[in-house]
Amino acid sequence: MKNNPIHPGVIINEEYLKPLSLTITELSAILGVSRKTVSKIINERGAVTPDMALRLSRAFDTSPELWLNLQKTFELWQAAHTSKKWKSVQPVSGQMLNANL
C-alpha cells in the first residue's frame, strides 16, 4: 500500500459524527467511555482497542473486525514508513531453523 491509510478516528468523524450530528461528548456517553478517550481517537492521537472496537460495532451496527482492521492497517503502514530499522533484519533460513530443533 503506497498511500497512508485513514485512521479509524477520521472514519468515525466523517461517516458517523458529522452525518448523525453527534458530538464527541454524546458519542462518549453512547459508548460508555470518557470524552477524552473518544477525543483521542477522533483526533488520531489514540488507537481503537479491542474493547473500543466492540463498543463501536455495537453503536454503529458494524463488526469489531472492521475497526480493528482499520487500526491495524493504519499502524502497520506507520511502522513501515516511519522507521527503516526493520529492514536490517535478516530472514531466518530453513537450515537455521532445523539446526535449532
Q: Which of 50, 54, 40 is nearest to 7 (CA)?
A: 40
- For residue 46, give its domain range: 8-83
Report the C-alpha gap between 87 and 84 in whole angstroms.
Answer: 6
Cβ within 8 Å of residue 32, ≥6 positions away:
55
Q: Let me know if residue 55 belongs to a domain.
A: yes
Mean pLDDT along residues 83-88: 90
| pLDDT of res. 74 | 97
Q: Let me know if residue 23 belongs to a domain.
A: yes
| pLDDT of res. 36 | 98
Report the C-alpha gap between 72 and 40 in whole angstroms.
Answer: 17
**In the predicted structure, residue 1 carries a pLDDT above the cut 60:** no
Number of structural domains (the chain) is 1
CATH number of 31's domain: 1.10.260.40
Q: Let me know if residue 40 belongs to a domain.
A: yes
Model pTM score: 0.85
Q: Let me know if residue 97 belongs to a domain.
A: no
Cβ within 8 Å of residue 89, ≥6 positions away:
none
| pLDDT of res. 101 | 67
Tens digit of each residue's pLDDT (9 = 90 or more) over 59-74: 999 999 999 999 999 9
| pLDDT of res. 41 | 98
| pLDDT of res. 59 | 98
What's the one-letter identity of residue 69?
Answer: N
Rounded to 5 degrees, what angle do the CA atoms 57, 58, 62 make?
35
Q: Let me know if residue 25 belongs to a domain.
A: yes
Q: Which of 100, 19, 97 is nearest to 60 (CA)?
A: 19
